[in-house]
Amino acid sequence: MEDSRLLSHAIDYLNRMADGLNPLTGAGEPEDSCLRQPRVSRCLRYTIEVMEKVLNGELVPADSLPAKAPTRPFQLTPEQMAQVHPNKGPLSLTRFLEYLRGFADPDCKKLSHKQTVAWLISQGLLEKGPEGTAITPSGQDAGIYLSQYGFKQKILYAPSAQQWILDRLPELMDWISRSAGGTIDPETGELIARSSGKQPFSLTQEQLDEIPLLPGGVSISRFVQEINRHIDTEKMDKLKRETLTGWLTAEGYLEKAEHDGHSSLSPTPKGEKSGIRLEQRTVNGRSYWGTVYYDEGQMLLLDYIRKLCGLED
């Protein structure tokens, strides 16, 4: 690469200067030259060391680092909301939420796709159908419709549907914040009044990338314990086991079943295909049936946590 060639050339010049030589001719500099000063030579040697690390890929320049992931929940101040207008054409909900995010501060996440869908269901515009999310007659009246893309159908939001959401955007943000245990300050758009005094559970993409897959089949409690190890639990609510098992049950991965006279959550055939197993284990000489999660099951949970944190749809 051209950049690598130029960097190598610069390092060669600096090496000559650190040796007290003229970098252009290679001739030795006079004794009174600044290049003969030990402090200057040490400074040049340090610079060479850093540049060689960059050249070898051991050090990445600051302007090459990826941008820090947004950490604050989505918020719009009244001034920002006044600037928002529907897009001129139809958008998927994912694209519309990304469009809204463009009006918020850079450190704000976009609105959660999952929570927005849940709110639209609560408003009667969408409903859970046998094959997934479906549009109600009220949703059709508002401008939500199905469009055919090859062999797939996609739900789109016409400008009128976008306006319907925009007219109720404060209600949507308040609904999401209350589901996290807080309310929205109408003056500032800030999330306030959390009963625990802590921020809602959230992880950045960098934190998620640091979470390892635990070896062997692990219980949901052990998995949640590992997740919470990556957050500051004095400032942030912990992830609860029930949050994950509730989602797994709603999505058909777990169901209530009886084993040895005790009722517990056990994997369905769908769950078993996704790396969730019911196994008999022994602790301190006592045998019991437990639901455990292997690699595929843990990846399923991590994907859901990524959505829960608003990092993807």
The 3 state secondary structure assigned to the chain is CHHHHHHHHHHHHHHHHHCCECCCCCCECCCCCHHHCHHHHHHHHHHHHHHHHHHCCCCCCHHHCCCCCCCECCCCCHHHHCCCCCCCCCECHHHHHHHHHCCCCCCECCCCHHHHHHHHHHCCCEEEECCEEEECHHHHHHCEEEEEECCEEEEEECHHHHHHHHHCHHHHHHHHHHHCCCEECCCCCCEECCCCCCECCCCCHHHHHHCCCCCCCECHHHHHHHHHCCCCCCCECCCCHHHHHHHHHHCCCEEEEEECCEEEEEECHHHHHCCEEEEEEEECCEEEEEEEECHHHHHHHHHHHHHHCCCCC
- Among 95, 78, 79, 77, residue whose Cα is nearest residue 87: 95
One-letter amino acid for residue 240 of the chain? K
- Are 93 and 162 contained in the same domain? yes
- Domain end point (choices 139, 159, 190): 190
pLDDT band at 12 (very low <50, low <70, confident <90, very high): confident
pLDDT at position 140 is 92
For the chain, give the percent of residues with pLDDT over 70. 82
For the chain, give the percent of residues with pLDDT over 90. 15
- Are 102 and 173 contained in the same domain? yes
Handedness of CA 96, 132, 258, 213 (dihedral sign): negative
Residue 196 domain-assigned (yes or no): no
Provide mean pLDDT across the span 126-142.
85
pLDDT at position 156 is 93
Residue 195 domain-assigned (yes or no): no
- Are 24 and 87 contained in the same domain? no
Residue 199 domain-assigned (yes or no): no
Q: Distances in Å between the alpha carbon of 109 and those of 74, 76, 84, 230?
A: 5, 11, 17, 19
Residue 148 domain-assigned (yes or no): yes
Q: Please state the separation of Cα 128 from the chain's center in Å.
A: 25
pLDDT at position 189 is 43
- Are 35 and 106 contained in the same domain? no
Residue 71 domain-assigned (yes or no): no
Provide mean pLDDT across the span 44-63.
71
pLDDT tens readout for residues 187-227 = 444 444 444 567 888 888 888 888 989 988 888 888 998 99
| pLDDT of 273 above 70 | yes
Range of the domain at 20: 2-64
Q: Distances in Å between the alpha carbon of 80 and those of 72, 155, 177?
A: 16, 27, 18
- Domain end point (choices 64, 87, 105): 64
Q: Provide the angle, in degrees to the nearest 10, between the axes of the packed helices 93-101 and 113-122.
A: 110
- Are 167 and 211 contained in the same domain? no
pLDDT at position 187 is 42
The b/e string for 296-306 (b: 16+ C-beta within 10 A; e otherwise) is ebbebbbebbe
- Are 134 and 49 contained in the same domain? no
- Among 154, 149, 152, residue whose Cα is nearest residue 135: 154
pLDDT at position 4 is 66
Residue 235 domain-assigned (yes or no): yes
pLDDT at position 160 is 94
Residue 261 domain-assigned (yes or no): yes
Residue 298 domain-assigned (yes or no): yes
Report how far residue 159's alpha carbon sits from residue 84's, in angstroms, rounded to the nearest whole number: 12
pLDDT band at 271 (very low <50, low <70, confident <90, very high): very high
pLDDT at position 1 is 43
| pLDDT of 66 above 70 | no
pTM greater than the 0.75 cutoff: no
| pLDDT of 101 above 90 | no
| pLDDT of 230 above 70 | yes
pLDDT at position 64 is 52
- Are 185 and 219 contained in the same domain? no
Q: Distances in Å between the alpha carbon of 283 and those of 262, 286, 290?
A: 17, 5, 11
pLDDT tens readout for residues 142-181 = 999 988 876 778 899 999 999 999 988 888 877 776 665 4
- Are 98 and 143 contained in the same domain? yes
Give the contacts of 268 (CB within 8 A, at least 6 positions apart).
252, 253, 254, 255
At CB < 8 A and 24+ separation, what contacts does 196-201 make?
Answer: 196/237, 198/234, 198/235, 198/236, 198/237, 199/235, 199/236, 199/237, 200/73, 200/236, 200/237, 201/231, 201/236, 201/237, 201/238, 201/239, 201/308, 201/309
Number of domains present in the structure of the chain: 3
